[in-house]
Structure 1
Amino acid sequence: MYKLVLADDDAEIRSGLSQYFPWAQLGFELVKTFRNGAEAWNYLQEHEADALLCDISMPVMGGLELARRLYEQESGITVVLLSGYAEFDYAREALAYDVKRYLVKPTGYEELCSEFSRLRLELDRSREKQTAGRAEALPAYSQQVTDILKAYVQKHYRTASLEEASRLVHMNPDYVSKFFKQHTGENFSDYVVRVRMIRAAELLRDIRYKTFEISEMVGYSYSKNFTRSFRKFYGMSPREYRNGQQPGDPVR
């Protein structure tokens, strides 16, 4: 979820965009709204944000001045300007501050959705490139990501999913799948199954639990699916395992 800040001196616009626009569905969290650019500027000096939606004409500090300051600061925040004016001079000055997004009021619902959908894709690609670049340049970073993913599965094996793991390391699920395979030699889904099976084997050694209870404890709603996975992993059924030899190595 990308963090978005809104600055507009129109109270109705602030209220409408903060209460009724579906930011979350577009991948954004509207973290704060402000009446002018000065308030937004002060906030952004102490808080992180990925994008800023602001009006050009505001009291105290307008959107162009705010964009200029952020540009000179090299903040990396993507600025989307709103204005009731369509003069070329405004757009030209905005381009000087690396502002490539300029919406003219009144902005329609569909236009705003379209603009921020495109922005979300751009931010995703930028984040993936940065992450991939760091991973290639820093082996220690790659190991850290791998360790985080493994630790997540070992702690949340019952409900572990590729999507949740991806959010944890701020990567695209497809990229995480390839990354995990590349750095561990094992598919992410296979690792989840392995962790579940080894945990199931530990629970089977405890006679307090029945097989169907263990099935649910390791993430299987149907005991038949659990039995099938267990047999495939250990070469025997849970009952045979409980009554006989108990193999299994710790997860690394």
Structure 2
Amino acid sequence: MYRLIIIDDEEEIRDGLSNYFPWDDMGYEVTAAFDNGIAAINYLNTNPVDVILSDIKMPMMDGIELASYVRDHYPSIKVIFLSGHKEFEYARQALQYGVREYIVKPTKFNELVSCFSKLKDELDQEQIVNETSEEESETIIEETYHDNIIKDINQYIHNNITTATLEEAALIVHMSPQHLSKFYAKYADENFSSYLLKVRMEKSKELLKDYKYKTYEISEMVGYQNAKNFTRAFKKYYSMTPRQFRLNKGLIK
């Protein structure tokens, strides 16, 4: 239901519109009715409203002033004007204040139905767009949050290639090791251990290109205290031993 308020200084018209038009069937709920614009503004300042149906000529604050205020403070609210025949041009000028449509008094049932049916379609479409935008925004925020965590973990691995562990990474991002393991696999599309191995292997390959480093030294530099374990891991990853890699690169004879 869209929330509607009615403003008209003529009690008969105000009560008739509020109580006898089938607003519920059209998707609207009349939440309040007022005889002047100031009372309506006081209501707007504390209550959500989707649509205003307002007379133009009223004491204290007329419809034009009300429309101006609504445009400046509540631009999402739709304003529909009621107007007597003699105020027709006056109503047309009010369109500059964002008034969506005017209905000429005496109000005709079919005209009200047509006007508010079209308005409901418009409100429905806006709601769909807004909900989609909110969902997209939430998705972007969530993805950014996940991406930032993955980046922090990856940066930790690169900065601590020798000593990096799942347990220490978990402390950094305030997760349990089990949770982090599942989180990383889901949002990085690979396991923590797989990425750590990749970083160590790529770094070892880079170091092997520098002939001044011994294999056991490189082993320690990338987190392997046992050179045999390093050689075994390197061979499994690249299908060649560190020595074969250097031979292929012409770094040893």
TM range (shorter): 0.5 to 0.7
- Structure 1 residue 70 displacement after superposition: 0.7
- Structure 1 residue 94 displacement after superposition: 1.3
Q: Secondary structure at the match of 1:32?
A: strand
- Structure 1 residue 92 displacement after superposition: 3.8
Instruction: Give me the CA root mean square deviation.
Output: 2.0
Give the equivalent residue in structure 2 for 1:128. Answer: 128
Given that 2:83 and 2:91 are in contact with CA atoms closer than 8 Å, whether structure 1 keeps it comes out as: no
- Structure 1 residue 137 displacement after superposition: 2.3
1:1-252 aligned within 5 A: 1-87=1-87, 89-139=89-139
Given that 1:134 and 1:141 are in contact with CA atoms closer than 8 Å, whether structure 2 keeps it comes out as: no
- Structure 1 residue 88 displacement after superposition: 5.4
Q: Secondary structure at the match of 1:126?
A: helix
Instruction: Evaluate the alpha carbon distance shift between residue 87 and residue 32 of structure 1 in structure 2; reply closer, same or farther with a 3 A threshold.
Output: closer
Q: What TM-score, normalized to structure 1? A: 0.53
Q: Please identify which structure carries the higher helix content.
A: 2
Instruction: Evaluate the alpha carbon distance shift between residue 75 and residue 45 of structure 1 in structure 2; reply closer, same or farther with a 3 A threshold.
Output: farther
Deviations 1:134-166 (A, max 9, x none): 112222899xxxxxxxxxxxxxxxxxxxxxxxx
Partner letter of residue 98 of structure 2?
D
2-structure distance, mates of 1:80, 1:63:
10
Instruction: Evaluate the alpha carbon distance shift between residue 127 and residue 9 of structure 1 in structure 2; reply closer, same or farther with a 3 A threshold.
Output: same
Instruction: Determine which structure has more spread, i.e. the larger CA radius of gyration.
Output: 2
Partner letter of residue 76 of structure 1?
S
1-structure distance, mates of 2:126, 2:81:
21
Given that 1:135 and 1:141 are in contact with CA atoms closer than 8 Å, whether structure 2 keeps it comes out as: no
Structure 2 unmatched ranges of 5 or more: 143-253
- Structure 1 residue 116 displacement after superposition: 0.6
Q: Secondary structure at the match of 2:80?
A: strand
Partner letter of residue 109 of structure 1?
F
The more displaced of 122-131 and 67-76 is 67-76
Instruction: Evaluate the alpha carbon distance shift between residue 141 and residue 7 of structure 1 in structure 2; reply closer, same or farther with a 3 A threshold.
Output: farther
Deviations 1:30-79 (A, max 9, x none): 00000111111111111110000000001111111100001111441100
Instruction: Evaluate the alpha carbon distance shift between residue 77 and residue 141 of structure 1 in structure 2; reply closer, same or farther with a 3 A threshold.
Output: farther
The more displaced of 87-96 and 3-12 is 87-96
Partner letter of residue 113 of structure 1?
V
2-structure distance, mates of 1:46, 1:21:
26
2-structure distance, mates of 1:86, 1:118:
26
Instruction: Report the count of equivalent residues.
Output: 143
Given that 1:9 and 1:58 are in contact with CA atoms closer than 8 Å, whether structure 2 keeps it comes out as: yes
Given that 1:86 and 1:104 are in contact with CA atoms closer than 8 Å, whether structure 2 keeps it comes out as: no
Once superposed, which parts of structure 1, at least 4 consecutive aligned residues long, lie more than 2 Å away? 85-89
1-structure distance, mates of 2:51, 2:28:
9
1-structure distance, mates of 2:121, 2:90:
26
The more displaced of 71-80 and 45-54 is 71-80
Q: What TM-score, normalized to structure 2? A: 0.53
2-structure distance, mates of 1:38, 1:138:
38
